[in-house]
Amino acid sequence: MIRDDTNQIRRILIVGGGTAGWMAAAYLQKHCPCQIALVESPNVPTVGVGEATLPALIDFIAELGLDEDEFMRRCHATYKLGIQFQDWFQTQHSFWHPFGVVGGEIDGVDLFHYWLKGRRLQRDESVYTDYSLQRTLAEAGRAHRRIGGKAVVRNYAYHLDAGALADYLKEVATSQGVRHLLANVEEVVADGQDRIRYVRFDDGRQVDADLYLDCTGFQGLLIEQALGDPYLDWSDTLICDRAVVIRLPANPRMMPCTEVTGGRAGWIWRIPLTHRVGCGYVYSSRHLSDEEAFMELSQFAGLAQIPKDAKQLKMRVGRRAHFWKGNCVSLGLASGFIEPLESTGIFLIQRALECLLDAFPDTSCSQPLQKLFNARMAEAYEETRDFVLLHYYLSQRRDPFWEDARQIALPDSLVERLELFDDTGAVVIPAAAVFPATSFYSIYAGEERLPRTYNPRVDATDFGQVCKLLDQIKNANQNAIAQLPRHQDLMRWLHEGEATSR
């Protein structure tokens, strides 16, 4: 059968720039035979809260045909092998969420269950993530690749300057034919049947398209203000609703991990870039005033006073009821927001673009495709919400904020996950999961939530041999430290061209 292209999408208008807009422009220009235009205001700055990422971004960069080293240089990026949590479970306590496998599987069963049996038999006093190569390297300040060589692990991510990423992707997209318009949106005209007819700008221009992407941030100019799609408020579940952000001088050590430290009424992040350190405090305004938050962050950073360029952000926690409505798809903050504890902001943009490409419509924007897309994105947002919420629920801190964060009513999906884990130690992961099973095991073990039993298949394996294998894994991880360069030396070579033998 010959395909009828009469209703083919030919024109896409992206409203809003920033990370979401320019990721969409570069990605769709690569994959869709359409005319793509992006309009952004010359007056509205981008938010750029999320500067840490997940390993999926590796595939996004490769799919665009970009050179990773050039991407790193353009985005002032450093590598990220995981997250170190301090003062979260308890004060003076630390645990890790490393990327990648933690020792792998033995006879088809995750190492977690063998580690758990060893703990029960008092034959293994290790922490679960001691078996992670990424944690071993990050803790030692080592890189995951040799200078001039390729990565020795598949699962790693980046710390990056989100503004620089948007600028880089803008160059990529416009060089491939994306039209870049600078104007303020004056009016979005809809037809009353969930379809946008055209967008009018303050310079008098009027642009119509077959498909619109709303990248206008929390205000949702198209999806919410024009089409009336409601926002599902999750502030009663995730109670942090503010952030203050400061920039610190670059740290030459540049450890390959995101540092998260529990605070009085939230948590503080430190993200190392080559030209500065991003530092911010995510907190609950019900438990801490803005002035108190600025003071606590300044004290944490060792500053005598609040920096003049400090920024305060109000967070609208939740998601769209319909991420795709009519001929409009929302991306980034226009589609939802979950606090950046697990660095999911850029990932959720990437997931939406991949889902859109999988369900790419014709001009009818059929309901079945919208339903498929909306279901997949709802699943991603709800899994992310549950995973972030799990961190708070397992904490044993006794400050009023932490008590309140732990006592909220859990979503049924998280209750069921916890019940299954508590009874069996099982972590069930759907095919398109945001986080792998090892991520859940790392948080459970790190916050000392251990199940009543382990997988019974563990008892079918010679445990003496298992213990030898576990020792071999730890020894191999330790040996890797001597074989790989310091992360700071790799960054010096990559960003400055400085050779080193250390």
Residues designated as active site: 80
What is the strand order of the sheet 196-201 is part of?
A: 185-190, 196-201, 206-207
- Give me the count of residues in the chain: 502
Kind of pairing between the strands at 231-233 and 318-320: antiparallel
Between the alpha carbon of residue 75 and those of residues 161, 253, 256, 275, 276, the distances in Å are 5, 18, 16, 10, 12
- Quote the CA–CA distance of 237 and 480 in Å, as a whole number: 42
Query: What three-state secondary structure class fits 375?
Result: helix
HSE value, Cβ hemisphere, 13 Å, CA-based, for 397: 27
Q: State how far the Cα of 334 lies from the Cα of 356, in Å rounded to an integer.
A: 16
Going by the DSSP 8-state scheme, the letter that residue 332 receives in this structure is G
Distance CA 422, CA 426 (A): 8
Q: How far apart are CA 259 and CA 281, in angstroms?
A: 12
Please say whether the beta carbons of 138 and 455 come within 8 A. no
Instruction: For residue 343, give Cα distances in angstroms to 216, 268, 335.
Output: 20, 13, 16
